[in-house]
Amino acid sequence: MSTGQLLSRLRKEKRITQEELAEISGISLRKIQQIEKDQTEPKHYILNQLVKALDCSSKKLVADSSKKYKREVELLKVMNLSALSLILFPYGNIIFQSIILFKNRNKIRFYSVGKKIFSFQVIWTLTTSIILLITSFWQIEINQMINLSPFPVILVVYCLAIVINCVVIISQQKKLKAGNIKVYNSIPDIF
Q: What is the CATH number of the domain that holds 15?
A: 1.10.260.40
pLDDT at 91 (0 to 100): 92
H-helix or E-strand spanning residue 144: helix 108-146
Domain carrying residue 45:
3-56
Does residue 140 lie within any of the structural domains? yes
pLDDT at 47 (0 to 100): 86
Q: What pTM was estimated for this model as a whole? A: 0.67
Number of domains in the chain: 2
Does residue 189 lie within any of the structural domains? no
Is the domain of 52 the same as that of 74?
Answer: no
Does residue 64 lie within any of the structural domains? no
Does residue 112 lie within any of the structural domains? yes
Does residue 184 lie within any of the structural domains? no
pLDDT at 120 (0 to 100): 96
pLDDT at 133 (0 to 100): 92
Give the burial string for 53-65 (b: 16+ CB within 10 Å, else e).
bbeeeeeebbeeb
Residue type, 113: V
Does residue 18 lie within any of the structural domains? yes
Calculate the alpha carbon distances from 1 to 30, 67, 170 in Å: 21, 9, 32
Strand positions, DSSP E, the chain: none
Give the burial string for 8-27 (b: 16+ CB within 10 Å, else e).
bebbeeeebebeebbebbeb
Does residue 155 lie within any of the structural domains? yes
Is the domain of 86 the same as that of 166?
Answer: yes
pLDDT at 148 (0 to 100): 66
Is the domain of 35 the same as that of 81?
Answer: no
Low-confidence ranges of the chain (pLDDT < 50): none
pLDDT at 78 (0 to 100): 96
pLDDT at 108 (0 to 100): 76
